Amino acid sequence: MSPSERRRAPVAVVRTAADRERVLADVARAMELARWRDALDPGTEVALKPNLGWDKLIPGAISAPWVVEGVVLAIREHVGAIHLVEADQVVVSADRALAVSGLDRVCRQYGVRWHNMSKEPHVRARLPGARVLHEVEIPEILTRCQLVTLPVLKTHNKTTLTGALKNQWGCLPALRHSFHPVLDDALADINRLVRPRFAVMDGTVGLEGNGPKSGTPREMNVVLASTDLVALDATAARLMDIDPAAVGHLETCAQAGLGSVGGSYEVTGDAVEKLVRPFAPARHNPVSWLELMLRRSAVERLVFHTPLFRLACWGARRYYDLWDLVVGRRRRAAFFARSPWAVQWRCPERRDDTRRDGTPSAPGEDG
């Protein structure tokens, strides 16, 4: 799709409810309103890129099964093989995140092949006119599949929000944190390199506060879709009561020809104004704050470019484990006690089972 065609593409916004069949239908409706068939070639192999950037179950921090299932059902008669792709982070296992999210069950049910891109071949790619990623390794699978990105509606302590554009961050090698000082430019470059064709945003349960990991689930009951990722993220910002102009990478990506910003796009489906719910903004947690300080310090190279970095990663992971034990566990239990959305994370064979802390039983596990 050319930049001019992308800029004319609508953003679909569809209100939904916590019922599996309703979500599947509403995902299909959002995709139809956004004209997804114009984006994907018949018979092509497709890579679906969810957000699996956290291997603890905090609803809203990672993709939920129903929305991803809805996308698979919508496209499977039109396309060829469907793959689900994600990559490790320095403190996160994508394989564990797949199981925690319940997306492993979706893969098994529909014959979708899972790829941890950190463990698979990469190829060297050059980007003419790059801002910062002049030559970088990208996963080989993305060179032979058309990419559909499946972000989650949530806040982020470095980019204000993490959406359709930021979701491609996981397509860079594991040490992508090195690009944090030039994040806006790197996001424009990686999206030009891997060329996502379409986006479906899971706004059923979002995340507010200190995203992308240590935030609070926020029920929003909405699905968004578009071929214009910039416009989709700008619309998502409005839903969160965030000024799109305050999200730096949106303008950068628009300038790179990746979409529209500033209200020059059509929004179809349900009225955004009726769905707005202000999100608490993300602030730096201790890990994020310390990384920012160290990157600005005289010891930056010592910390991030020597074996000392392994110790830093160990400490960061221990912080998140402690946060989950003290805070995340309570938020998870509260969500599973009250939210009708919780059922999708429970074992399908025993949907009423939960552990004592409110987390879902794993398949085959006693409650």
pLDDT in tens, 321-346: 999 999 999 999 999 999 999 999 98
Which helix (H) or strand (E) element contains residue 351?
A: none
Residue 200 lies in a domain: yes
Q: What is the pLDDT of residues 64-121, one digit of tens each?
A: 999 999 999 999 999 999 999 999 998 999 999 999 999 999 999 999 999 999 999 9
Reply yes or no on whether the pLDDT at 4 is more than 50. Answer: yes
Beta-bridge partners for 115: 85
CATH number at residue 169: 3.40.50.11440
| Measured torsion, CA atoms of residues 179, 181, 184, 189, in degrees rounded to the nearest 10 | -30
Asked whether residue 336 is assigned to any structural domain, the reply reads no
Portion of the chain with pLDDT greater than 90, in percent? 78
Residue 297 lies in a domain: no
Provide the domain limits for residue 50.
Answer: 3-283
44: which 2 tokens?
A: 């092509």
Phi, psi (deg, nearest 5) at residue 268: -120, 165
> Is a pLDDT exceeding 90 seen at residue 350?
no
CA distance 348 to 346: 6
- Predicted pLDDT of residue 358: 41
**Number of separate domains in the chain:** 1
Find the radius of gyration of the CA atoms of the chain: 19
Residue at 268: amino acid letter: T
Q: b/e per residue, 224-241, with b = 16+ CB within 10 A?
A: bbbbbbbbbbbbbbbbbe
C-alpha closest to that of 91 among 202, 214, 203: 214
pLDDT digits (tens, 9 = 90+) for 248-274: 999 999 999 999 988 779 999 999 999
Q: What is the mean pLDDT of the chain?
A: 91
- 313 within some domain: no
CB contact set of 307 (below 8 Å; sequence gap of 6+)? none
Q: How confident is the model at residue 352 (pLDDT cuts 50, 70, 90)?
A: very low
* pLDDT over threshold 60, residue 364: no
Question: How close are the terminal C-alpha atoms of the chain, in Å?
Answer: 48
Angle at 290 between CA 289 and CA 294, to 5 degrees: 120
The model's pTM: 0.92
Q: Is residue 365 part of a domain?
A: no
pLDDT mean over 339-367: 55
The answer to whether the beta carbons of residues 203 and 239 sit under 8 Å apart is: yes
Residue 327 lies in a domain: no
| C-alpha to C-alpha distances, 220 to 17, 240, 280, nearest whole angstrom | 9, 9, 14
How would residue 12 be classed by pLDDT, with cut points 50, 70 and 90?
A: very high
Residue 49 has pLDDT above 60, yes or no: yes
Which position has the token pair 């490790």? 88
Copy the structure tokens of residue 223: 């699905």
Residue 258 lies in a domain: yes
Q: For residue range 172-218, list pLDDT tens digits in order.
A: 876 677 777 889 999 999 999 999 999 999 999 999 999 999 999 99
Amino acid 63: pLDDT: 97
Using alpha carbons, select from 329, 236, 257, 339 the residue that is nearest to residue 3: 257
Q: Are strands 11-15 and 214-226 parallel, antiparallel or unpaired?
A: antiparallel
Q: Detail the DSSP E strand segments found in the chain.
A: 11-15, 46-50, 82-86, 113-116, 122-126, 135-139, 146-150, 152-156, 160-162, 198-210, 214-226, 267-269
Please indicate whether residue 150 or residue 263 has the higher confidence score (pLDDT).
150
Q: Helix axis angle, 65-75 relative to 103-110, nearest 10°?
A: 20
Positive/negative CA dihedral, 176, 103, 225, 146? positive
Can you tell me whether residue 335 is helix, strand or coil?
helix
What gap in Å lies between CA 108 and CA 349, rounded to an integer? 14
Residue with tokens 């830093």: 312
DSSP three-state, residue 308: helix
pLDDT digits (tens, 9 = 90+) for 274-291: 999 999 999 988 888 888
pLDDT in tens, 306-322: 888 889 899 999 999 99
The reply to whether omega before 139 is within 30° of 0 (cis) is no
Residue 334 lies in a domain: no
